[in-house]
Amino acid sequence: MSGSPPPTDGFVRRVGLFQATAINMSQMCGIGPFVTIPLMVTAFGGPQAVVGFAAGAVLALCDGLVWAELGAAMPGSGGSYVYLRQAFQHRTGRLAPFLFVWTAMLFIPLIMSTGVVGLVQYLGYLAPGLGRTGGDLTGLGVIALVVALLWRGIDHIARITAVLWTVMIASVLLVIAAAATDFDAHLAFAYPAHAFDLTSGRFWPGFAAGLTIGIYDYLGYNTTAYMGAEIKDPGRTLPRSVLFSILGIMAVYLLLQIGTLGVVDWHRMTDPHDIASTSVASAVLEATWGEGAARTVTVLILITAFASVFTGLLGGSRVPYDAARDRVFFRPYEKLHPRHRFPVLGLATMGVITAVGFLIGRHTDLTTLIQLLTTVMVVVQALAQIVALTALRRRRPELPRPYRMWLYPLPSLVAFAGWCVIYGYADRNSPGRHPVEWSLAWLALGGGAFLVWARLERVWPFGERETGEGYDAAAAG
């Protein structure tokens, strides 16, 4: 048994291991490292920023093992929605999966909006006179194009994704190669005094900020878990796509970070008026291979940014579908396109929220947007899902698990601690923005929406508590 059987009236299992890994890696890499290297340097105050990427890799790997076990055992569309419902339905009915979908409808599009913000930043290197209004209109046009391309069948999308993945790999490797041709080790490792002083009041807030940026750069390793109902042989493909994508991107990010610091003086990255603070990869190419090469690679980076938004909305739009079909979210979200079999309202809604998040990021700053989206997702998804893994192991030991977490429960404990650090330092690293308060307010609003919805649907706490177990059919298969 390697997962649930192919659905007869919904999605079709057509995505193999290579395509699944490409989807994850395209979403993970995208524009992220090209815009966050300066943010990471600013957070740490020097080239020791590489610690942030390493810490993010450890957190992503530990959390990825949680996704790997849950995704292989319950390969349905919606990812966390499925896992939380199975784990907590006996105690809180449909509350946990409802709150997850509620928050996912916000944080997934916010992640995509950061990609569009980064795309417009790099476009500014090619068109310095673009201006704020022109940049806003360009970003909104990109979002509209992504939604239009996703308005088709998954088999066509898989082929498009493979092409975009190839461009993404090419752009990253070109930047790494350019940095290697003119690498200065003294520049890359010129740490300021007391850079690693753990007793100073600066290190740990900087580490928490760097960990937040680092895990943001790795987000996307779970994209195929949202598409579990469309993955071939999910019991094998899902865990491998998660682990392969994390390990591959981990190596790429470390080479990219160290190589960039060996070409561009880190002080330039902290200067908002320097091109290295907004388009650091273009600055690397310009300093090594000249302006022509910089412009060429910038175009590839723009395509890479587009690919990350494309794959993110592809996976994210599937989240509310399964919930609505199982009567755990608003019913109109269960509708699939009659011909291409994709969730119509889910894709449209996330496209609109992505556009709103893009405008917010453009008129505030990218760091604020990253802090907001990470705090929103921590409680309802990251921490709750780790608890769900343990709960399911204890309550449903008979559940077929094609993959079981290595060294359990150590990775889940490390992941839990990492997410707590991100959440605990969020307000301190975003003074005046109050991301923790906003996340709690959104959660409270979701709780109120659940009570209204539960009353209308006559489910717990206004009806009987859930007792059914899912994925028995998969086990029989």
pLDDT score of 6 = 42
Tell me the one-letter amino acid at 107.
Answer: F
pTM of the model: 0.84
pLDDT score of 155 = 57
pLDDT score of 413 = 97
399: Cα within 13 Å, side-chain hemisphere = 28
475 within some domain: no
Alpha-carbon distance 202 to 115, whole Å? 29
CB atoms inside a 10 Å sphere around CB 1:
13
8 within some domain: no
Per residue of the chain (477 residues), give pLDDT as tens. Answer: 233 444 444 567 878 888 888 888 877 877 788 888 999 998 888 888 889 989 999 999 999 999 999 999 988 776 787 888 888 888 888 898 899 889 988 888 998 899 899 899 899 888 888 888 898 999 999 999 998 888 765 555 666 667 777 887 888 889 999 999 999 998 888 888 888 888 777 788 889 989 999 999 898 898 888 788 888 888 889 999 999 999 988 988 889 999 999 999 999 998 888 888 888 999 999 999 999 999 998 998 888 888 878 877 877 777 787 778 878 888 888 888 677 677 888 888 999 999 999 998 888 888 888 888 899 889 888 999 999 999 999 989 988 899 999 999 999 999 999 999 999 998 888 888 888 998 999 999 999 989 988 888 888 888 777 666 565 434 323
7 within some domain: no
Check which CATH number belongs to the domain holding 177 and give it: 1.20.1740.10
Name 343's bridge partners: 336
Alpha-carbon distance 198 to 366, whole Å? 27
pLDDT score of 137 = 93
Range of the domain at 287: 17-469
How many residues does this entry show for the chain? 477
Alpha-carbon distance 353 to 12, whole Å? 27
pLDDT score of 326 = 76
370 within some domain: yes
178 within some domain: yes
5 within some domain: no
12 within some domain: no
- State CA 455 to chain mean position distance: 33
Alpha-carbon distance 146 to 29, whole Å? 17
pLDDT score of 471 = 58
User: Residue 287: enclosing H or E segment and its boundaries?
Assistant: helix 280-288
pLDDT score of 5 = 43
Alpha-carbon distance 475 to 477, whole Å? 5
11 within some domain: no
b (16+ CB within 10 A) / e for 89-118? beebbbbbbbbbbbbbbbbbbbbbbbbbbb
Domains in the chain: how many in total? 1
